[in-house]
Structure formats: C-alpha cells, structure tokens
Amino acid sequence: LDTAYEKLAQERQLQLTKPTGSLGRLEDIAIQMAGITRNVCPVIKHKAVVVMAADHGITAEGVSAYPSDVTAQMVQNFLVGGAAINALARQANAEVAIVDIGVATDIEHPDLISRKVRRGTANMAHGPAMSREEALQAITIGIDVLDTLAAKGLDLVATGEMGIGNTTPASAITSVLLNIPVARVTGRGTGLNDQQLTNKVQIIERAIAHNQPDASDPLDVLAKVGGLEIAGLVGIILGAAARRIPVVIDGFISGAAALVAYTLCPTVREYLFAGHVSVESGHRFILEKIGLEPLLDLHLRLGEGTGAVLTMHIIEGALHTHNEMATFGEAGVSNKE
C-alpha cells in the first residue's frame, strides 16, 4: 500500500463532520482504498465479479449433494441471468464475467469466456487433480481475464466460482497449507448429512495421503488437490493486486484461492477485502491466517461471488462518506471541545 496516500486519507477522515472513528470500519476501508489506488478520494465506477466455473473428478466419490451436471446447468443459468449472483450483480451494477475454465461438458454462448484448460480435474483420490502445467495455465488465464476487464476500466473486482464438489479441494488446500486436520476445515458444502460428511473427510484425507502435496510449494498443492476454478481465481487475485485493483474475496472456495495467492505472494493481502465469513468451517482459518476481518456475517454458503458482491455496497458506502462529507470547516460545525 502507498502509505503516503493512506496518511492523506486518514487526515481527511479527521476533518469530516463526525466524531473521530465513529464510522468504524468504513473509515479503515476508505483509507485502505486510498493506499491501494494512490488516490486520496478513490472513486468506484466499474465493478465486476468474475465467476470461474469448473468440474471436479472427486465428485465420483460422492462428496457433493448435487450431481456434477449442475455445474454446466448453473453456468447456463448465469448466462441467462437467473442465478443469485446475477440478481446481486444487477443490484450492485457490477458486470458478471463467466469463465469456463474447466467445465466437464461444452457450453456455447456469446457471453461465455471459454478458456477451458481441461474437462474437469482428475479424481484426486487416485492421483493429482491436474498437472503443475495445467495449474499454471489456469492461473495465467485468471490474469488474462483480469487484464481484459481492466482494459475496459475496473475499480473493484469480486471473486466468484461455480463447481459442484469444490468445497472438497478447498478443504484439502486449507488443510495442507495451514497444517490443520482435514476434519476441522471440512463442512457440509451444499448440504451433506453426517454420514456423507464423514465420508467427505475420509476422501480428502485419502487424496492428501495419496498425492503427498508439498506444503511449502503452493503450486504443488493447487495442482495435486486443487481445482481449476480455484487456480483461475488465484490468477484474478494476483493480476488485480499487480494492477492495484482492490479485490473482494467471497466465501470458502474464493478464500482457498486467496490463501494460495497469499502463500505465493504475501503482499497481495493489502489489496484484499474479505466480503463475508462463510458457514464452511475452513473459511475462518483462512481469514485468520491472511489477517482479514470479514465485513459481513450473514450465514451465506452459496458461493458464486454472492457475498463479495453484496459487500461492494459497504465498500462504496465507505467511499461515499469519505468523498462527499463536509469538513468541520466547510460546514461551520464545532469540533470536539
């Protein structure tokens, strides 16, 4: 972050017609935004949520309550504007960029960004989910997508994803990179019962034991027990940070991507806002590790970028107050005695 701009923004905050600190985290957001953008009064004009979609070979082991086909069906739903992320993005006036980075079936649509690396990952219970080269390719696609959005103007980007089964790789990545037992970072995803949850934990433990990902090498972890949409979001985060574009991280899957990006390059933290804290148990550990405090806690567990896009209103609220409020001097209001 550019501390000179943070300091100028902090000084502005002290002059606005309100008691010092009374806007709480809104003040922190405005100051961080100034540091990110090198602008004392940052303005958000262009917003987007990138929804990376991919399938997971591990679904063959019964780790999800929904069939794999739902990934492609939901991508179709995104393309016609019928999903939760579409409704929330319309409300927030954010563009929805839908990327097929690894859906198992082929989808044709003029609005779809088709950058399929492969037709879903392999079943990581029996071998690596993908090769290191494929993981790198997916990251590069994320950077490309971000660059394309940035070329049109992009002031705030949210991470989103769709991939039936993707809490399983998210839990595997979290367990390995944070060295926490699988059971503590694994949740019910879209709605598993107790027995299915026990099975999911065992499958993840088996996948880690079988593939032996190297915890000191985040790319190895991402390739062996990760997912294509997670890798794509790593690219979005790295690309945005490199361009000083703030990123709102959504829930657990996006969090796993943020954890990989942070492990590769810890300074990305400064460009991140944690949209919310998911019901999925692993998410809190990720946020704590990166050092992010979630802005919302609404018991969301949908993904797609929904919580992140909802949080855009809070970030914009922080800037509206920061940029538009009168100072004590301008308003003729007496300051503290």
Q: How far is the CB of 194 from its own copies (least distance, A)?
A: 16
Q: How far is the CB of 77 from its own copies (least distance, A)?
A: 4
Q: How far is the CB of 140 from its own copies (least distance, A)?
A: 31
From 131, 135, 100, 327, select the one nearest 230 (Cα to Cα).
135
Type and span of the H or E element at 162: strand 156-162
**Cβ proximity of 171 and 164 under 8 Å:** no
Exposed/middle/buried for 250, CB within 10 Å: 0-12, 13-18, 19+? buried
Alpha carbon 138 to chain centroid distance? 15
Q: Which is nearer to its own copies, 4 or 326 (CB)?
A: 326
For its own copies, the binding residues (CB under 8 A) are 16-26, 65-67, 69-70, 73-74, 76-77, 80, 82-84, 86-88, 90-91, 190-191, 279, 295-302, 306, 310, 313-314, 316-317, 320-321, 323-326, 330-337
Q: Which is nearer to its own copies, 58 or 74 (CB)?
A: 74
Examine the residue annotation and report whether 304 is marked as an active-site residue of this protein.
Answer: yes
**Phi and psi at residue 276, in whole multiples of 5°?**
-160, 175
Start-to-end C-alpha separation, the chain: 34
From 223, 237, 119, select the one nearest 172 (Cα to Cα).
223
Q: Which of 6, 134, 304, 316 is catalytic?
A: 304
Q: Which two tokens stand for residue 31?
A: 């100051």
Q: Which is nearer to its own copies, 132 or 313 (CB)?
A: 313
- The interaxial angle of helices 218-225 and 167-178, nearest 10 deg, is 150
Q: How far is the CB of 82 from its own copies (least distance, A)?
A: 3
Q: Which is nearer to its own copies, 91 or 212 (CB)?
A: 91
Reading phi first (left if > 0) and then psi (alpha if -120 to 50, else beta), residue 187 is in beta
Q: Which is nearer to its own copies, 218 or 251 (CB)?
A: 251
Q: Which two tokens stand for residue 88?
A: 């929330």
Q: Which is nearer to its own copies, 82 or 127 (CB)?
A: 82
Q: How far is the CB of 258 from its own copies (least distance, A)?
A: 20
Classify strands 47-54 and 156-162 as parallel, antiparallel or unpaired: parallel
Q: Which two tokens stand for residue 41?
A: 């009064």
d(CA 211, CA 157): 33
Q: How far is the CB of 27 from its own copies (least distance, A)?
A: 9
Classify strands 113-114 and 272-274 as parallel, antiparallel or unpaired: unpaired
The catalytic residue positions are 304
